[in-house]
Amino acid sequence: MQDGDKLRISPIKANFSEILSKIDKFWVIGLIAGLLVATFSIDINIDKESAYIVKVNGQKIGAVKGVDVYNDVLSSIELTDGKNSLEKISFEKINFLKTDFLSKDELELSVRKELGLKAKVVAVKIDGQEVARVKSQKEYEKLLEDLKKYYYPKVDGEIKIISATIREKIEPDFVWDYYKNTQDIDDVIQKIADGQMLTQEYEVKKGDTIWDISLNNDISIEDIKLANPDLNIDKIQIGQKIKFIRKKPYVNVEIVAQINGKEEIPYDTKKIVDKNIKKGIEKIKEKGQTGLAYIEKKVFIVNDSVVQEDVLNTEVLKEPKDEVLIVGGKAHSGYVAFSGGFIRPSRGRLTSGFKFRWGRRHEGIDLASPTGTPIYAAASGKVIYAGWKSGYGKCIIISHSNGFTTLYGHASKLYVSIGEYVNKGEKIAAVGSTGRSTGPHLHFEVRKYGTPVDPLKYIR
């Protein structure tokens, strides 16, 4: 007999194993049945099965009905934590049944908790990589629900979630571990949302400018500076190594929702050119007033970026009132000499470069940013087009010297009109999704004598 067996409730099994092998089974069954009846008729008059109080360190932690539950729990604990961990567990037979009984799982959980032992916990795996451990299957399921909810858009008005999907494969893996190695659901969600830091290295190529590197790798110049404190961004050299540190989220949660509510309608700005006032000076003649609309829209969101917005219904509650500006028109320079390079016309993520796309040539670059993000003139020049252009939606074309023109497409609003001179960096429009566009972005083209060239080669 082994040590651990002393703790178990098994009088019959131990005492009769020898006899079992020798005597006819029929008699053994009869004998056991007789014993059971005898035992229970003495101890308990109410039920056929005995009840036991289970104690850990002498403290009662609950009652069970039947010996199997108790023995199973002991076997399970012995398997993960060894025989020694059973020493502090004991039982006591009770003669009343007016109590709530613990199931095997409940008893095991209580005993393990009391002894600070390993328990069956859930490792949360995302695309095969373990991210955290939670206490139970139940907590894991709540984690999945709460994780989606974490990304639900927070808006004024009513919102109906049509669907919420986690793009990555997320699955539970049951492992034996101590509770102290598990995390609370909220902490796990925060960890998943924060993502992991990834470090990459980039080698400067011939012709690269810091703008090329920033745009092509979808990383801001600020972030490049932070990751490379010793780098002089104005003097990068071929072969030089630049470090990128970026956050990669563990999950991409795709949400489709309908949002109904009131939204402001921005006002348009009309400009009146006054040739007696110097260029660059502006005066408000009539203050603009925003309008109000009730809008029903379907939005497509990935994590916290709106990828697409489909307006289903608009009811204007109050029309906006145009702002009227008087702007100086006294030409001081006409064409401003092209000073070798354009500035980046808008903030935003480079989502498409100058290349063939879907079998067609993409004659510019796309910079994705929310509707309303300002668009600036990439260089000084004269506005030669301002209006709707097939495919490009609301569009501006500026003519610069040396045969260059720049084009700004898909705008939501235009702030300049044909014939105006604009300075480098002057706000000319706002990002939108007009024309052939699947989401708010600036389509920016540079043309040299009418031929599209790669804008990234000219942005300084």
Per CB under 5 A, residues contacting Zn ion are 366, 443
Q: Which residue is nearest to Zn ion (CB)?
A: 443
State in angstroms the smallest separation of the CB of 436 from Zn ion: 9
Closer residue to Zn ion, CB minimum distance, 358 or 449: 358
The CB-of-406 to Zn ion minimum distance in angstroms stands at: 13
Nearer to Zn ion, 4 or 353 (CB): 353
For Zn ion, the closer CB: 321 or 362: 362
Smaller CB distance to Zn ion: residue 381 or 393? Answer: 393
By beta-carbon proximity to Zn ion, the closer residue of 172 and 432 is: 432
Give the nearer residue to Zn ion in terms of CB position, either 413 or 443: 443
CB of 427 to Zn ion, least distance (A): 21
- Distance CA(153)–CA(108), nearest Å, equals 41
Amino acid residing at 293: A
User: Nearest-5° angle of CA 359, CA 361, CA 458?
Assistant: 150
Residue number with CB closer to Zn ion (263 or 366) = 366
For 435, residues 6+ apart whose C-beta sits below 8 A from its C-beta are 388, 389, 390, 391, 392, 393, 394, 395, 409, 410
Q: CB 216 → Zn ion: shortest distance, Å?
A: 15
Residues 6+ apart with CB under 8 A from 283: 277, 325, 326, 327
Print the SS3 string covering the chain: CCHHHHHCCCHHHHHCHHHHHHCCHHHHHHHHHHHHHHHHHHHCCCCCCCEEEEEECCEEEEEEECHHHHHHHHHHHHHHHCHHHHCCEEEEEECCCCCCECCHHHHHHHHHHHHCCEEEEEEEEECCEEEEEECCHHHHHHHHHHHHHHCCCCCCCEEEEEEEEECCCEEEEEEEEEHHHCCCHHHHHHHHHHCEEEEEEEECCCCCCHHHHHHHCCCCHHHHHHHCCCCCCCCCCCCCEEEEEEEECCCCEEEEEEEEEEEEECCCEEEEEEEEEECCCEEEEECCECEEEEEEEEEEEECCEEEEEEEEEEEEEECCECEEEEEEEECCCCCCCCCCCECCCCCCEEEECCEEECCEEECCEEEECCCCCEEECCCCEEEEEEEEECCCEEEEEEECCCCEEEEEEEECEECCCCCCEECCCCEEEECECCCCCCCCEEEEEEEECCEEECHHHCEC
CB 61 within 8 A of CB 114: yes
The nearest distance, CB 133 to Zn ion, in angstroms, is 45
Residue with smaller CB distance to Zn ion, 366 or 420? 366
Instruction: Work out how close the CB of 451 gets to Zn ion at its nearest, in angstroms, rounded to a whole number.
Output: 17
104 or 362, CB closer to Zn ion? Answer: 362
User: Token digits for 356?
Assistant: 């063939």
Q: How far is the CB of 364 from Zn ion (least distance, A)?
A: 5
CB distance 213 to 164 below 8 Å: no
Q: Which is nearer to Zn ion, 158 or 218 (CB)?
A: 218
Residues in the chain: 460
Min dist. Cβ of residue 392 to Zn ion (A): 9
The nearer residue to Zn ion, 26 or 356, going by C-beta atoms, is: 356
- Comparing CB distances to Zn ion, the nearer of 50 and 433 is 433
Q: Minimum distance between the CB of residue 411 and Zn ion, rounded to whole angstroms? A: 12
Minimum CB–partner distance for residue 202 and Zn ion (Å) = 25
Q: Shortest distance, CB of residue 352 to Zn ion, whole angstroms?
A: 6
Which tokens is 302 given? 């990935």
CB 442 to Zn ion: min, Å: 8
